[in-house]
Structure 1
Amino acid sequence: MAPRIHWTQGTAVSKVTNFVKTAPVVHCGFTGARRTPLLGKILLAFIPFGAYLITFTFYHDLQKLLGLDEKHVSTAFLPWLEHSLFHCYPHKILSSHTSPVLDFIAAIPYLFHFILPLVFSLYLIYVGRRHEVPLYLWVAGWVNFIAVLVQLVSPTASPWFVDSVQYDANGNIISVADNEAGFKRVDAMLGYPLFHNLYGKSKVTFGAFPSLHVAWPAVVMLFRPWFGYRFGVFHVCWIVWASMYTCHHYLVDGLAGITLAYIIYTSTMKLYHPFQCERERDVVAQAEYIPVTAKIPFTDTCEITMPEKS
């Protein structure tokens, strides 16, 4: 029987995989635990993140290169889709009832959004699930890259833009609200333009669909988040509400972000990812240390089965 050849053999993916396997290793676990090339895996996992960062950084240059004119951004498709599905505009209902307390509650997940990948990666390492870090970064990277490609090819306006923009007879913009939208109220209470500075520097002004603000917590939820699955669901619902309350996104934007995260996660687990799952020998079960000699079964999805205590 002829030997089986993986479809990546001889390709650029295979060469990169072989390169990172020889990268420096880092100590994994308690004293005496086996060494794992975690650093090499993380470098490999950052390939889609790197593609996202390049696309995001050179967003306007790529638009000019591809002949995409941001002046012809879609301002009608998302409102039409929103009304067709829900027969109303949920963001208008939510944003019509504002208060300083709700403004600060909405600001919390948005501020936490910027450090979410780093914090969740550190959390995985802290709780003994460091073998999932490369896989998490791989999935999150592809979610980001595909989302920014959609936003590059088909830019869509957020509710704050659609509801406030005014044009002259030639189609030129006369006036429009600031990028921070509902968070302008938070800046006024703080006496400092925190959100204005954050959104004023964004390179992607018309990137409403799909919502990465919602997609990131959705990826975390799929990877068994901190405080349990229920908190993961709550976090996703929290930022979906915040995105509509502050007029940053339509409901369909959030649903698209969740759907994108689920598709990437499922395809990664079921079809292909470049990481070979290993035994995790630095496991603490029920506040009791398990010796590194204990056999810990593992599966292709990196799910760890805890051995029974003797």
Structure 2
Amino acid sequence: MKTFGKKITLFLIDGDASGRIAAEISNWTGKIYKIPRILIKESTDREDLNSTGIYFLFGKNPDDEDKDLVYIGEAESLIDRLKQHLGSKEFWIEAICVLSKDENLNKAHVKYLEKRLYDLALSANRYKIENSTIPAKTTISEPDKAEMEEFLENLKLTIHTLGYKVFEDIDKRKSKETVSQTKDYFIEAARGAKATGFISDEGFVVKEGSIATIDTVPSMEVRMKNYYNLREKLISEKILSKTESGYIFSKDYLFSSPSAAAAIVMGRSANGRIEWKDSKGKTIETNETA
């Protein structure tokens, strides 16, 4: 499927990149606001924020620095709902509001989008979702559904551009919009290590079903404390599940680098640019410098 470039316009409302931002895509009826919590009251005079729409509340997770928090909701007046959340929810530090410039989003539309966005965020598993209840499924007409699915794609792209990858799969190769296909790399080493992974624009992903060693070398806990602690964390969170042959990855997992991934898989210090090899036996280093 051929992909085309997108023109996204970002307007710094306060003349500051850390302040309020309005984002629009050319030929799209949607409009997105990024608003810091401390500037919600200053935004009450923006008339379009009285519109029906979708909103997201983002915040830091005190229990897991690798997975931030998000709340996904819908409202008939976005600004009124955000003002309510100033008193009812403490965790969030920034809000994203999504509305239609032609006021074409009705209650059924935003309920449909809310459910779809909740399911996409759950599937991507990048954020802890703070919703206490699962949004209800809403039935809309076939033409409206087609329109909302197109609206949804632009919504996801714009939110990602604003810095939130809440809907993006770790394995971007699953997406039909992916421009290039990244090859798989493999490790098969001592003590049962047998893993498959690939380079991502965010680091290196070890794929679900890969096997890490059942134990680590004695020096890892002393000389590689950060990797040792990460491995223990993955075990405690059941991302690495113990089996007779080793610890199996229960899902795709994104590491900061090929070396971090190799160290966890092999249970020792490792240069991932040399340890990971493609189906022809070529290392990452060879492929990148050839």
TM over 0.5: no
- The structure, 1 or 2, with the larger RCO (C-alpha pairs under 8 Å, 6+ apart) is 1
Q: Which has the higher helix share?
A: 1
Give the structure with the higher percent strand: 2
TM-score, normalised by the number of residues in structure 1: 0.26
